[in-house]
Amino acid sequence: MHYIATYSEKNRQITNQCHLIRPGSLSSASSSEQLWHCYLPNLKLLTDYIINVTAVYPSASSSQLTSFMLEDIVKPDPPVDIRVSPHDNGNLLVKWSPPSSWANLDIFPLKYQIVYQWDYRGSPKSVNLGPTESTKIELKGLTPGRQYLFQVCAKDLLGLGKFSDWSSPVNITIPRTKL
């Protein structure tokens, strides 16, 4: 079996061949479950596209058509360089940087979601904050001596596309204040 993928702007006759990339397969996947990626260069915003993926078998073929707009499927990489540090009066300051792969922040700004969690009597508790356009937030009222885990994700400021995956977690224990 092999695949053929093409794409075009909706209502246009010009069809482009998709460059299929096989990055490898999952170690437990059979040959029919291998992952494929389709590289689509030079897509335009605010344009409807149709992609056609055809699986070609020795005696038959099967096609799947899907339409999309770039701004509906865009997904930033997670924010990076998450830093958590003690701040004034026992508060914490959480800072991060936008993903380096997100070009043109001045034209396509991001908004961020922050989650922090802790163990409370053996059960995880969490607080979800945002969206915020800032790349830092001051948190108040956290419990001294308690360990917290922080993560940040990003999305296009206008809400287009999908949220990124969560950043790598950062753990910190709130220092106990000295009497």
- Sequence-ordered list of residues with C-beta below 8 angstroms from that of 49, at least 6 positions apart, any chain: 7, 8, 9, 10, 40, 43, 67, 68, 69, 70
| Domain-ending residue, one of 14, 41, 73 | 73
Q: For position 159, which CATH number holds?
A: 2.60.40.10
63 and 142 co-located in one domain? no
User: What pLDDT, on the 0 to 100 scale, is given for residue 40?
Assistant: 81
Strand, helix or coil for residue 33? helix
User: Which of 135, 129, 89 is CA-nearest to residue 110?
Assistant: 135
In a domain, 178, yes or no: no
In a domain, 7, yes or no: yes
What range defines the domain where residue 156 resides? 80-173
Does the pLDDT value for residue 24 go beyond 60?
A: no
Dump pLDDT digits (tens) for 71-119: 888 899 999 999 999 887 778 999 999 999 998 888 889 999 999 999 8
- Global pTM value: 0.73
85 and 38 co-located in one domain? no
Dump pLDDT digits (tens) for 32-71: 556 677 778 888 888 999 998 898 899 999 999 999 998 8
User: What type of residue sits at position 37?
Assistant: H
Number of domains within the chain: 2
